[in-house]
Amino acid sequence: MPDFTDPTHAAGHAFERHVIGLLGKDFRIVSWMSDGARGREEIDFSPDLVVEHLPSGTVIGIECKYRSTLFGGNISWAKEYQPAKYRRFTTATGFRVFVVVGTGGTPERPQYMYCLPLWQARHNRLNPAGLKRYRRDPLRKFSYDPASGALK
């Protein structure tokens, strides 16, 4: 059972629920590795969500990260080893992984939201200025473009 006494896990779980709510009817959740339920986090290389885009049959991974504030002007979205962990998931499964980051506001209603492909999140810290093209409305439903492979 998830440990939501830790405020970080509670916020992470709330943000995951928010992201799931933005997926809509075109997506089916294949698996959800909820924050707080990650006693095996160090050995598991799955992202938070694995979803199927029903119209195309494409399966993708989504790693959800909520940060209430920036750290040194950057978004610290992962521990140093985690980007490589998610790349291993892509290599093993062939599924693309996207990193969805919410900042400011609350996990249920972040002030800013970004959705970027894992290959653009090579490092565990991201500069918001470099993410402008991936910024999205935090309340807009997600869409997936099978032709470009982009989650928007």
CATH code (residue 65): 3.40.1350.10
pTM of this structure: 0.90
**Residue 84 included in any domain:** yes
- φ, ψ of residue 54 to 5 degrees: the values are -60, -45
Mean pLDDT value across residues 5-23:
90
For residue 49, what are the CA distances in angstroms to 3, 127, 131? 18, 24, 22
**Residue 2 included in any domain:** no
Query: How many structural domains comprise the chain?
Result: 1
With tokens 């470099």, the residue in question is 130
**Residue 101 included in any domain:** yes
Local structure of 123: helix, strand or coil: coil
Residue 66 DSSP one-character state: E
**Residue 54 included in any domain:** yes
101: containing domain: 7-151
Residue 43's pLDDT is 52
Mean pLDDT value across residues 70-82:
90
